[in-house]
């Protein structure tokens, strides 16, 4: 019979394999890419422009959609209403469908022939092939991360704290901004980071809405398709490094915020 | 000052029925009852957190049934204090004042005044998560009193405190009451009601089963439930059989004082468990003299001052004895005992 020690050893071994599976390809790519290639690629304007576009589009999309997503998450956490389970299911759809299919669906919604597309046309821009289209595609596939995290955050705020605030004279708005939002902030920030990270790494939906201007995931695909693995690796490495840095900094900031 | 008229409310499987209450300014009103009886729901109704399905609430003769929670001048202290964990003690107390847009200096003055009154001036910059139960309770009280509500509602305010802190907080609440604060206090502990209340309402299963002045409720419990809930251990429904004699469950005959037995409406009797005298007897000695009953000791519980004995005399009788008497008489479960109940100690419930 297995003793706990044996089980721990087995589990540690399996965990090691999984960790290796995650880290192995990344380390392999790092070892396989000469530093000089990375340096030269990093100097290309096309690459830096693409990285700025990718981070910027995801960041702005996260901020813009948070304005609606956070109150939506609060409603889901606090109110009971008809079709609530159905609506909760709908929110998760972008996560479970193929992202290229999501892109096709979204394209139908924002193309020049659609109502939204015509409205955009009248304002002098088009979603298709435009940074706003990229932002929309990124937000479409990454919104569930924010909504679900924020909903969990609001659910963890005791209702009696909100009741206490109301009893102390706060309006519903004041209660939301002074009690519910600050107390759920850790989860919301986590959701914002996840949405941002997921958005900037999106390829499938973005490539259908806007092949150009090139986001970095699309650029990696393009270079791989046109010139091969060796040419795509430096861009991929630079983008992974920047993504990790952004992710670590945001996580650190959110951690600091919690203990403040 | 506050009046609840025919209040009914149902939500989920829980309901409260036909609640009628009346409070005068300066009253200390205790809502007493077991958990889940509906007491806290009544507090939330008064505060405006819940709305009744039917019935009306009046505060100073104004109908506040549909008035917004923020405009009621009613302060509620929650059972677990509900302090805002992301704000320090000062910010918690100042919360309502900031909402009313008081000036900074005025807020600081009011907070300092309340902190001194509650003896928490040294805690103002502390995080609420680092406070003891008693300190949290004082902060919660100070926060609720900041805007001087006309009515202070307390939901089980002493439930989570140890004996020493309970004592201190009780004295704080008495002080507040003496200063003229009208208080509604919810508790399941009848001792709290004895120590603090002017008036009491007893709740059971969503209804008020008895209410009135404290002395009235405690001396004339209307039902066995009320009697047991206010700490009366020996409460028996009786029927009058003959002159001077009351019968309990058709088994036990109690002789009582002549002038009492003339009353026609006797419903029950109450015998204080400390007013029964006890002797050890052997089987052969058991006599059937007036109000002397032989019985068997069923169980012994340690009590606050001595012991509580459960004796079967044909019905369960609870007798309190001192620690000294307990040691002297060497009781054991199954001992045969003689219980004497003096006619003077039989309290009649009409």
Q: Which residues of A touch B (CB under 8 A)?
A: 158, 160-161, 163-171, 174, 178-179, 182-183
What does the pLDDT read at residue A258?
47
What does the pLDDT read at residue A130?
87
Give the whole-angstrom CA distance, residue A102 versus residue A198. 15
Determine, for residues A183 and B49 on separate chains, whether the beta-carbon distance falls below 8 Å. no
Give the whole-angstrom CA distance, residue B297 versus residue B280. 10
For the ranges A28-32, B141-145, B311-315, the maximum mean pLDDT occurs at: B141-145
Identify which of A161, A168, A171 has the shortest CB distance to residue B96: A168
Q: Looking at residues B260-280, what average pLDDT do you find?
A: 76
The residue count of chain A comes to 260
Determine, for residues A158 and B82 on separate chains, whether the beta-carbon distance falls below 8 Å. yes
What does the pLDDT read at residue B326?
81
DSSP codes of every residue in chain A: ---HHHHHHHHHHHHHHHHHHHHHHHHHHHHHS-HHHHHHHHH-HHHHHHHHHHHHHHHHHHHHHHHHHHHHHHHHHH---TTHHHHHHHHTHHHHS-HHHHHHHHHHHHSTTSHHHHHHHHTT--STTSHHHHHHHHHHHHHHHHHHHHHHHHHTS-HHHHHHHHHTT--HHHHIIIIIHHHHHHHHHHHHHHHHHHHHT--HHHHHH-SSSPPHHHHHHHHHHHH-HHHHHHHHHHHHHHHHHHHHHHHHHHHHHHH-
Does residue B300 surpass a pLDDT of 90?
no
Does residue B284 surpass a pLDDT of 60?
no
Determine, for residues B147 and A168 on separate chains, whether the beta-carbon distance falls below 8 Å. yes
* Mean pLDDT taken over chain B: 86
B207-213 and B268-271: which strand pairing?
Answer: unpaired
Does residue A221 surpass a pLDDT of 50?
yes
% of residues, chain A, pLDDT over 70: 97
Give the SS3 label for residue B204: strand
Identify which of B44, B75, B99 has the shortest CB distance to residue A174: B99
Q: Looking at residues A105-116, what average pLDDT do you find?
A: 84
Identify which of A160, A161, A169 has the shortest CB distance to residue B99: A169
Determine, for residues B144 and A183 on separate chains, whether the beta-carbon distance falls below 8 Å. no
Ramachandran assignment for B182, one of left (phi > 0), alpha (psi -120 to 50 degrees), beta (any other):
beta
Give the whole-angstrom CA distance, residue A137 versus residue A209. 7
What does the pLDDT read at residue A259?
41
Nearest to A219 by CA among A67, A109, A54: A54
Token couple for B293: 């009953």
Give the whole-angstrom CA distance, residue B178 versus residue B196. 11
CA A173 to chain centre: 28
* B261 band by pLDDT with thresholds 50, 70 and 90: low
Determine, for residues A179 and B84 on separate chains, whether the beta-carbon distance falls below 8 Å. yes
Q: Quick check: B68 and B49 in contact, CB under 8 A?
A: no
pLDDT for A119-139, tens place per residue? 888 888 788 888 999 999 999
pLDDT for B236-248, tens place per residue? 888 776 767 788 8
Nearest CA-CA distance, residue A198 and chain B, Å: 30
Does residue B35 surpass a pLDDT of 60?
yes
Contacts of A161 in chain B (CB under 8 A): 82, 84
Token couple for B205: 């299963």
Q: Quick check: A203 and A99 in contact, CB under 8 A?
A: yes
* B100 band by pLDDT with thresholds 50, 70 and 90: very high
Does residue B282 surpass a pLDDT of 60?
no
What does the pLDDT read at residue A222?
93
Give the whole-angstrom CA distance, residue B117 versus residue B230. 32
Token couple for B159: 């439930």
Give the whole-angstrom CA distance, residue B184 versus residue A6. 61
Instruction: Lowest mean pLDDT of A13-17, B24-28, B201-205, B250-254, name the range.
Output: B250-254
Does residue B285 surpass a pLDDT of 70?
no
Give the whole-angstrom CA distance, residue B176 versus residue B178. 5
Does residue A115 surpass a pLDDT of 90?
no
Please state the domain extents for chain A: 44-259
Nearest CA-CA distance, residue B87 and chain A, Å: 9
Identify which of B70, B86, B100 has the shortest CB distance to residue A166: B70
Does residue B302 surpass a pLDDT of 90?
no
Does residue B327 surpass a pLDDT of 90?
no
Backbone angles phi, psi at B240, to 5 degrees: -90, 125
What does the pLDDT read at residue A2?
56
Q: Quick check: B209 and B222 in contact, CB under 8 A?
A: yes
Cβ neighbourhood burial of B54 (10 Å; 0-12, 13-18, 19+): exposed
Tokens 């209804």 locate to: B207
Contacts of B100 in chain A (CB under 8 A): 169
pLDDT for B61-71, tens place per residue? 889 998 888 88
Identify which of B78, B86, B100 has the shortest CB distance to residue A160: B78
Contacts of B82 in chain A (CB under 8 A): 158, 160-161, 163-164
What global pTM score does this model have?
0.80
Determine, for residues B47 and A179 on separate chains, whether the beta-carbon distance falls below 8 Å. no
Q: Quick check: A69 and A196 in contact, CB under 8 A?
A: no
Give the whole-angstrom CA distance, residue B249 versus residue B241. 12
Question: Does B263 sit behind a cis peptide bond, omega within 30 degrees of 0 on the bond before it?
Answer: no
Ramachandran assignment for B81, one of left (phi > 0), alpha (psi -120 to 50 degrees), beta (any other):
left
Nearest to A179 by CA among A154, A211, A204: A154
Contacts of B144 in chain A (CB under 8 A): 167-168
* Mean pLDDT taken over chain A: 90
Token couple for A241: 């490094």
pLDDT for A159-201, tens place per residue? 999 999 999 999 999 999 999 999 999 999 989 999 999 999 9
Tokens 């670590």 locate to: A248
pLDDT for B108-164, tens place per residue? 999 999 999 888 999 999 999 999 888 999 999 999 999 899 999 999 988 878 888
* A1 band by pLDDT with thresholds 50, 70 and 90: low
**CA dihedral for A112, A114, A119, A120, sign (positive or negative):** negative
Determine, for residues A182 and B86 on separate chains, whether the beta-carbon distance falls below 8 Å. yes
Contacts of A168 in chain B (CB under 8 A): 75, 95-96, 99, 143-144, 146-147
Determine, for residues A183 and B85 on separate chains, whether the beta-carbon distance falls below 8 Å. yes
Token couple for B305: 């001052």
Contacts of A172 in chain B (CB under 8 A): none
Contacts of B143 in chain A (CB under 8 A): 168
Determine, for residues A167 and B47 on separate chains, whether the beta-carbon distance falls below 8 Å. yes
What does the pLDDT read at residue A109?
86
% of residues, chain B, pLDDT over 70: 95
Nearest CA-CA distance, residue A143 and chain B, Å: 27
Give the whole-angstrom CA distance, residue B307 versus residue A199. 71
Give the SS3 label for residue B65: coil
Tokens 């972008």 locate to: A94
Nearest CA-CA distance, residue A14 and chain B, Å: 40
* B267 band by pLDDT with thresholds 50, 70 and 90: confident
pLDDT for B39-89, tens place per residue? 888 999 999 988 899 999 999 888 999 888 888 889 999 988 999 999 999
Determine, for residues B74 and A163 on separate chains, whether the beta-carbon distance falls below 8 Å. no
Q: Which residues of B touch A (CB under 8 A)?
A: 44, 47-49, 69-70, 74-76, 78, 80, 82, 84-86, 95-96, 99-100, 143-144, 146-147
Q: Which residue of A has its CA nearest to B46?
A: A167
Nearest CA-CA distance, residue B80 and chain A, Å: 9
* B314 band by pLDDT with thresholds 50, 70 and 90: confident
Determine, for residues B49 and A163 on separate chains, whether the beta-carbon distance falls below 8 Å. yes
Higher pLDDT, B350 or A1: B350
Nearest CA-CA distance, residue B199 and chain A, Å: 25
The residue count of chain B comes to 350
Determine, for residues B84 and A158 on separate chains, whether the beta-carbon distance falls below 8 Å. no
Cα atoms in the 13 Å half-sphere on the side-chain side of B3: 9
Match domain A44-259 to its CATH number in 3.20.20.10, 2.40.50.90, 1.10.3720.10, 1.20.1300.10: 1.10.3720.10
Show the CA angle centred on residue A192, arms to residues A188 and A194, nearest 5°: 115
Alpha-carbon distances, residue A169 vs A42, A178, A233, B78 (angstroms): 56, 12, 59, 15
Nearest CA-CA distance, residue A80 and chain B, Å: 13
């Amino acid at each position: 019979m297995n003793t706990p020690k044996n089980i721990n050893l087995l589990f540690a071994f399996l965990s090691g394999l999984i960790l290796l599976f995650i880290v192995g390809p990344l380390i392999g790519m790092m070892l396989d890419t000469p530093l000089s290639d990375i340096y030269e690629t990093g100097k290309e304007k096309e690459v830096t422009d693409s990285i700025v576009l990718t981070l910027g589009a995801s960041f702005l999309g996260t901020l813009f959609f948070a304005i609606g997503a956070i109150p939506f998450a609060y409603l889901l956490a606090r109110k009971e209403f008809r079709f609530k389970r159905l609506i909760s299911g709908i929110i998760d759809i972008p996560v479970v469908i193929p992202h290229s299919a999501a892109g096709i669906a979204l394209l139908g919604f924002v193309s020049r022939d659609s109502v939204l597309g015509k409205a955009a046309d009248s304002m002098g821009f088009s979603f298709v092939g435009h940074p706003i289209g990229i932002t929309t595609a990124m937000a479409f596939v990454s919104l569930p991360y924010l909504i679900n995290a924020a909903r969990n955050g609001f659910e963890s705020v005791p209702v009696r704290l909100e009741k206490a605030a109301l009893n102390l004279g706060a309006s519903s708005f004041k209660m939301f901004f002074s009690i519910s939002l600050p107390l759920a902030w850790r989860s919301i920030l986590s959701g914002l980071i996840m949405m941002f990270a997921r958005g900037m790494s999106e390829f499938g939906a973005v490539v259908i809405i806007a092949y150009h201007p090139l986001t970095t995931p699309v650029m990696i695909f393009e270079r791989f398709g046109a010139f091969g693995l060796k040419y795509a690796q430096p861009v991929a490495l630079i983008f992974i490094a920047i993504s990790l840095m952004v992710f670590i900094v945001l996580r650190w900031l959110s951690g600091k915020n919690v203990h403040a | 000052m506050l009046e609840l008229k025919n209040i009914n409310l149902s939500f989920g499987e829980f309901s409260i029925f036909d609640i009628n209450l009346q409070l005068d300014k300066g009253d200390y009103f205790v809502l007493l009852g077991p958990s889940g009886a509906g007491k806290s729901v009544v507090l939330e109704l008064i505060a405006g957190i819940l709305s009744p399905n039917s019935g009306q609430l009046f505060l100073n003769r104004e109908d506040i049934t549909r008035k917004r929670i923020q405009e009621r001048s009613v302060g509620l202290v929650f059972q677990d204090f509900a302090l805002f964990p992301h704000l320090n003690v000062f910010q918690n107390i100042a919360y309502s004042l900031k909402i009313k847009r008081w000036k900074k200096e005025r807020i600081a003055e009011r907070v300092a005044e309340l902190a001194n009154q509650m003896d928490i001036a040294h805690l103002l910059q502390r995080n609420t998560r680092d406070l003891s139960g008693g300190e949290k309770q004082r902060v919660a009280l100070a926060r609720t009193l900041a805007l001087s509500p006309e009515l202070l509602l307390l939901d089980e305010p002493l439930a989570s405190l140890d004996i020493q802190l309970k004592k201190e907080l009780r004295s704080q609440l008495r002080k507040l009451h003496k200063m003229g604060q009208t208080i509604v206090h919810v508790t399941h502990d009848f001792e709290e009601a004895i120590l603090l209340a002017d008036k009491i309402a007893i709740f059971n299963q969503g209804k008020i089963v008895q209410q009135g002045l404290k002395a009235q409720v405690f001396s004339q419990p209307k039902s066995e439930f009320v009697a047991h809930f206010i700490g009366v251990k020996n409460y028996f429904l009786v029927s009058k059989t003959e002159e001077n004699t009351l019968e309990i469950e058709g088994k036990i005959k109690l002789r009582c004082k002549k002038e009492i037995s003339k009353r026609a409406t006797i419903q029950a009797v109450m015998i204080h468990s400390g007013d029964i005298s006890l002797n050890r007897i052997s089987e052969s000695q058991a006599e059937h003299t007036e109000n002397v009953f032989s019985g068997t000791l069923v169980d012994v519980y340690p009590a606050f001052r001595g012991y509580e004995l459960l004796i079967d005399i044909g019905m369960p009788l609870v007798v309190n004895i001192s620690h000294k008497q307990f040691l002297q008489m060497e009781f054991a479960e199954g001992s045969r005992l003689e219980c004497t109940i003096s006619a003077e100690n039989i309290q009649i419930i009409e």
